[in-house]
Amino acid sequence: MDVDALQKLIHLLQATDDPLIQEQALITLSNSAAFSVNQDIIRNLDGLSVIGGMLSNSVPKVKEKALNALNNLSMNIKNQEEIQVFITQVCKTVESAPLNSDVQLAGLRLLTNMSVTSDYHQKMINSIPCFLRLLSEGTERTQIQVLKVLVNLSANPAMTRHLLRAQVPSLVLLFDNCINRDILVRALAFAANLKKNMNNEEGTIIEKYSEDSIFFTLRRDSAPFTQRLASLLHHPDTEVKEQVVRILTQ
């Protein structure tokens, strides 16, 4: 798609209030953003702020398509620098959207891309309780998507304390042979990352954590967690076993 066509689409988004036209324009921009050359063009035409403006739209389909477009555009580091101004709004959208809705999943996909590096993790701290609620209450599709965000956050030592403080009594239930493999591997990676960073903290700050916190779930003397890990050593999947060994040898 040439520059003129992209410019017309961006202008159309600014000019119309018709949600059907907005949706189609966003779909076309989203598809064109699959090509890296167009990612730069859309940014240079100020398309990121126009698409970001659609996040305030009251029509869920329009909001979802705007999130999808930003998701494709966020494959580009320079674009991420501009998209990061919308992270707080995207987090609020994820929190307020109906559970397991397309809007919620689209928001989580964008946050996954925006959390691959640790540059913007700080902007997501306040949403950690929301992410963990989705992990407890969401469908498998939602659980997998929110775990991708949580695994990215847990790889950053600066986020360890914020994650360990969160309260998720049901977290231990995910470490089970009957859990969907894609959820199990990511839940184990999340735990392994936290265990690795926890070793620097354990013993010094126990008093800061409540007994329902992730910190207490993952502690060495947590019998339920240790027993579940032991049973997962017999899991048929190699990656599951590798993550279990990673946790046990921390």
DSSP states of 21-85: HHHHHHHHHHHHTTSHHHHHHHHHTTHHHHHHHGGG-S-HHHHHHHHHHHHHHTTSHHHHHHHGG
- Report pLDDT for 206: 55
Q: What's the token pair of residue 170?
A: 């049901």
pLDDT tens digits for range 155-211? 999 999 999 999 987 899 999 999 999 999 999 999 999 999 887 765 555 557 888
Q: What are phi and psi of 156, to 5 degrees?
A: -100, 115
* DSSP at 200: T
Residue carrying the six token digits 């966020």: 74
More confident residue, 25 or 169: 25
* DSSP at 213: B
Please state the pTM of the whole predicted model. 0.94
- Report pLDDT for 202: 54
pLDDT tens digits for range 35-52? 999 999 999 999 999 999
Q: Could you tell me what percent of the chain has a pLDDT over 90? A: 86
Q: What's the token pair of residue 169?
A: 């009594």
* DSSP at 221: T
Q: What's the token pair of residue 5?
A: 């066509």
Chain-centre distance of CA 77, in angstroms?
Answer: 17
- In the predicted structure, residue 219 carries a pLDDT above the cut 90: no
For residues 114 and 72, what is the distance between their CA atoms, to the nearest angstrom? 11
Neighbours of 221 (CB within 10 A): 7
User: Average of pLDDT values for 129-133?
Assistant: 96
Q: Cβ distance 135 to 150 under 8 Å?
A: yes
For residue 236, what are the contacts with CB-CB under 8 A and spacing of at least 6?
Answer: none
- Report pLDDT for 208: 76
Question: Average per-residue pLDDT in the chain?
Answer: 94
User: Average of pLDDT values for 47-70?
Assistant: 97
For residue 245, what are the contacts with CB-CB under 8 A and spacing of at least 6?
Answer: 233
Confidence of residue 5 (pLDDT cuts 50, 70, 90): very high
- Report pLDDT for 222: 81
Confidence of residue 220 (pLDDT cuts 50, 70, 90): confident
